[in-house]
Amino acid sequence: MKRAVLLLIILFPLSAWAQDQVVIRGELNSNQRLLLNDHNDWVWNENRLDLGLEKRFDKVRFYGNIWLRHLGAPALTSSQNLYSPDQINPLNLDIREAYAEVRGFLFEDLDMKVGRQRIVWGTSDMLSPTDMLNPYDLEDVFDFGRKNGSDALSLQGYFTPQWSLQGVYLPWFRPANLPLGAFSGVFSSAIALPEGLTLNEYSDKLRMPGNNLKDGASLGFRLKGFAVNTDISFSYLYGREVLPLVSRVTLTPAGMQGETNVEAELFFPRYHMLGADLAGSIGQVGVWAEAGLFFPQKEVIMTTDMSLLYSQPPGTVTSDSLLLEKAPYIRYVIGADFTFKNGIYLNAQFMHGFLHERGKENLNDYLIIGCERGIWGEKLLLRPLAGGVVISDWQKPESNYAIFYTPEIAYKGIDNLELGLGAYLFNGKGENIFAGFRDKDMLSARVKVHF
Amino acid sequence: MKTTIHFFLTALFLIAAGTAPLLAQDAATILTKVDQVLFQPKDQTNTVRMILTDRNGNERIREASIWQKGSNKRLFRFTRPASEAGIAFLSLPDDLMYLYMPAFGKARRIASHVKNQSFAGTDFSYEDMETKEYAKTYSGKVLREEGNLYILELVALPDVRSDYSKMIVAVNKENYTPQRSESYDRGGNLAKTAVYTWQQQANYWFPKEIFMKDEKKGSSTRMIMSDVKFDSNISDQVFTERNLTSF
């Protein structure tokens, strides 16, 4: 909080005298969501100042993007908390991006970007399987495709105006951040306990990669160009999963008979990825396709240690489960969009493998559709058809599916102001992320002000 | 009398037979001359202010910077209002169009289905915003002459995709600048009318103001150019994705 205040104290006088030199743009966002259950609980309360600062010299550009937010409701447990403004009104400061970009670095056709940055790969709409350099920002689980910036060095050389080769080095590992509030557990998988045991307490240890040149780093290359009237790119990434996998679970007896404490050890496995994407058109229809072929560096086996539970006779009692094969697997997206004469815009994507799904056997199929139309001179934007269908088992689709429907109406009748009112409705069965939301239908309201 | 009628018929036939190809050739010549005027500068930059007026008279303002080179490269970058600032549109030869949205951080290829859609809420469509040489885009015929104007009917060539069935364009006989145009939709209905106001600077003619009216919606957009500069030797690099996404 002190940092936030300090920043604002510095920034605003700076902006006052340097308005003609530093470009300051920003947004004020307010997002509210209400569960459509018996209690109508508020499940999302975000008020965010999104500030972008840009300064350009001849061949150099500096850019910073900062979020200052109030997120969630006050979580107070004691009257002592009432003395703490930070707890009553929790603020959060996030430096999303802060980088310098040099055009014509060393050579005229070489660009360099250094600092915290968003490195966007792929052609798909929001759910790019090859866009893996930055970690997911899953805090708002419905803001698909949101990524955190990464501290990185990027060099991009242009052979021709259309063909370029980009090399990216990320020295630090940064994991994904997980959803907040009512959706906090959606990316966690349940640990199956031996029959007759119930969970008393869960704890875990996260094994972070070492902060050195080798362990924490990621390295990627991307060749991008244009041929046969199509934008194409090929990429390679030596990266690390940003969502952890469990390597070891230790069960220890708890106080009560039949209860156990669970201690898990999690880590972030390495992988190689070969990617390819294209964007073009067939007739008047815009089309794109993108695929990431992932090669896990090692298989991931979860060892469950029950030695302390079954100590008679003394010895080691473990069982192993294969979580991720070493075999390659492919995640891909195929999409198309079209605008009808009457202004209706339709966008459809078929996706094999959601962002948290790994391993050939664990990839589900998703059909995501968006349809919108502006009316009254684009002042009102209607999204009557938005959502998708998930099939997690084609052998038994009737019990392994999900349908989500996210219509919205947005008002843009006044410049720099956008108001949105929408709903998130879910239905489904089986083991897939959206089926897990079936009791979390929501209404949403949002306000965005640009300045 | 019979001879007289025969003479008139023959004369009419000869006039018709001789005039039709003459007018078609004239239209092509006129279009070539229009292109020579429009694309005479090697390149140009300018800022543009667009005043959008809806059917109720309410106004909204858009501002942008434009870079243009030759007859088929144009970069359009919004500077105002804040909600649009940074959005850029790149039009390249062979119907290639890219849209850069700062929020996504990447340029997106856009297919030709957007051509008939409103460009950033204005009464110009993406097709209207493309740079194109008239002579390479349309076949035409001279419908008539009105005082100082040639009135041409233009139809897109078979290999050119257009959402207009035809355009009626009035061209100034002296300086070959389009003065007004009517664009008709596929059903033959009048879709849009445009009025151009020209200004001469450094021996080049440029449209100081374009007033575009959507005849169906009743809305209009007035596009006013300023800070016009010619022949600044703009690099081809300006019209690349590299430039679109960063500088």
Which residue from B109, B118, B237 is facing A161, i.e. has the nearest CB?
Answer: B237
Tell me whether residues A287 and B111 touch, CB distance under 8 A.
yes
pLDDT of B162: 87
B70-89 residue pLDDT tens = 888 999 999 999 999 999 99
Residue pair A438/A418 in contact (Cβ under 8 Å)? The answer is: no
Which residues does chain B have within 8 Å of residue A56's beta carbon, measured at their own beta carbons?
A: 247
Residue of chain B whose alpha carbon sits nearest to that of A60: B247
Instruction: Write the pLDDT tens digit of every residue in B146-178.
Output: 999 999 999 999 988 888 999 999 999 999 999
User: What residues of chain B lie within 8 A of the CB of A286, using their CB?
Assistant: 109-111, 113
For strands A300-305 and A245-253, give the pairing: parallel
DSSP state of B39: T
Residue tagged 């966002």 (tokens): A29
- Give per-residue pLDDT as tens, A73-92: 888 888 888 888 888 888 88
Q: For residue A165, what pLDDT is reported?
A: 98
Size of interface A-B (CB pairs under 8 A): 84
Under an 8 A CB cutoff, do A25 and B85 touch? yes
Instruction: Give the residue-averaged pLDDT of B121-126.
Output: 90
Distances (CA, A) of A6 to A1, A47, A71, A109, B209: 9, 19, 20, 39, 48
Q: Min CA distance, A305 vs chain B (Å)? A: 46
Which pLDDT does position B204 carry in this prediction? Answer: 94
What was the pLDDT predicted at A357? 92
Element (H, E) at A369: strand A365-375
Contact A61 B246 (CB under 8 A): yes
Partner-chain residue, chosen from B54, B104, B240, that has the shortest CB–CB distance to A377? B54
Chain B partners of A450 at a C-beta cutoff of 8 Å? 81-83, 85
Residue of B nearest to A281 (CA): B111
> In this predicted model, what pLDDT tens digit does every residue of A399-410 receive, in sequence order?
999 999 999 999
pLDDT in the model for residue B13: 39
Q: Does A204 touch chain B (CB under 8 A)?
A: no
Contacts of A284 in chain B (CB under 8 A): 111-113, 161
- Say what the pLDDT of residue B72 is: 87
Residue A11's pLDDT is what? 54
**Residue of B55, B82, B116 with shortest CB distance to A341:** B116
Residue listed under structure tokens 């240690």: A305
The confidence score (pLDDT) of residue A93 equals 93
Chain A residue with the nearest C-alpha to that of B217: A377
Q: What is the DSSP letter of B30?
A: H
- Of A146, A139, A145, A149, the C-alpha closest to A98 is A149
For residue A254, give both structure tokens. Answer: 């708890």
How many angstroms separate the CA atoms of A104 and B94, rounded?
Answer: 28
What SS3 class is residue A230?
A: strand
The pTM is what?
A: 0.86
Pairing between β-strand A345-352 and β-strand B166-172 as defined by DSSP bridges: unpaired
Picking from A159, A111, A277, the residue whose alpha carbon sits closest to that of residue B243 is A111
Closest alpha carbon within chain A to B60:
A415
Q: Which residues of A touch B61 (CB under 8 A)?
A: 415
Q: What is the pLDDT of residue B45?
A: 96
Closest B-chain CA to A119? B105
3-state secondary structure of B239: helix
Distance in Å, alpha carbon of B96 to nearest chain A alpha carbon: 8
Pick the residue of A154, A345, A415 with the most B CBs within 10 A to test the interface with B by mutation.
A415
The pLDDT assigned to B3 comes to: 42
Q: Which residues of B touch chain A, with CB atoms under 8 Å apart?
A: 52, 54-55, 60-61, 81-83, 85-86, 94, 96, 104-106, 108-114, 116-118, 121, 161, 163, 217, 219, 236-237, 239-242, 246-247
Q: Are A281 and B98 in contact (CB under 8 A)?
A: no
State whether residue A55 sits within 8 Å of chain B by CB: no
Query: Residue A285 and residue B219: Cβ atoms within 8 Å?
Result: no
| Beta-sheet strand order (sheet of A300-305) | A198-207, A259-267, A245-253, A300-305, A318-324
Q: Write the burial class of residue B24 (CB in 10 Å: 0-12 exposed, 13-18 middle, 19+ buried).
A: middle
Inter-chain contact A378–B242, Cβ cutoff 8 Å? no
Give the pLDDT of chain A (451 residues) as one tens digit per residue. Answer: 455 545 554 555 555 445 558 899 999 999 999 999 878 889 999 999 999 999 998 899 999 999 999 988 888 888 888 888 888 888 889 999 999 999 999 999 999 999 999 999 999 888 899 999 999 999 998 887 899 999 999 999 999 989 999 999 999 999 999 988 788 888 877 777 777 788 888 889 999 999 888 899 999 999 999 999 899 999 999 999 999 999 999 988 887 778 888 999 999 999 999 999 999 999 889 999 999 999 999 999 999 888 877 766 667 778 888 889 999 999 999 999 999 988 899 999 999 999 889 999 889 999 999 999 998 878 899 999 999 999 988 999 999 999 999 999 999 989 999 999 999 999 999 888 888 888 899 999 999 999 9
- Cβ of A416 under 8 Å from any chain B Cβ? yes
Residues of chain A with Cβ-Cβ distance to B221 below 8 Å are none
The DSSP output letter for A137 is B
Picking from A97, A278, A339, A342 by the largest number of B CB atoms within 10 A of its own CB, the best residue to mutate is A339
Tell whether ipTM is more than 0.85: no
CB contact under 8 A, A286 and B111: yes
What one-character DSSP code corresponds to residue B176?
-
Is A161 close to B242, i.e. CB distance below 8 A? yes
Cβ-nearest to A281 among B54, B112, B163:
B112
pLDDT tens-digit readout, B16-65: 444 444 444 489 999 999 999 999 999 999 999 999 999 999 999 999 99
Chain B's closest residue to A225, CA to CA, is B241
Interchain proximity A231–B109, CB inside 8 Å = yes
Residue B20 pLDDT: 43
Distance from CA of A199 to the nearest CA of B (A): 43
Burial of residue B216 (number of CB atoms within 10 Å: 0-12, 13-18, 19+): exposed
